Amino acid sequence: MFVDYAKKGITEKILKNKKQENKQLKNYLNDKRAITELESITTHYLKAYVRVK
């Protein structure tokens, strides 16, 4: 799997950072907005998350 990403110029460090960012977003949506379903995420929630960051 990593080999495929490496071919695209994505390093292991970038993958680790993206994983951490996704975890933070998930926690924000679950804890602050009580969102548990992917279909419930709106641009409003994503923009609010960016403002918090």
- Residue 48 scores a pLDDT above 80: yes
Minimal CA–CA distance to 53: which of 30, 35, 28, 34?
28
pLDDT bracket for residue 3 (50, 70, 90):
low
Assign 3-class secondary structure to 4-33: HHHHCCCCHHHHHHHHHHHHHHHHHHHHHH
pTM score, whole prediction: 0.73
**What is the mean pLDDT of the segment spanning 27-45?**
91
Q: What is the DSSP letter of 50?
A: H
pLDDT bracket for residue 27 (50, 70, 90):
very high
Residue percentage of the chain with pLDDT more than 90: 57
Instruction: Give the span between the Cα atoms of 16 and 46, in whole angstroms.
Output: 21
Q: What does the block give as tokens for 30?
A: 């679950």
Return the pLDDT at 9.
Answer: 78
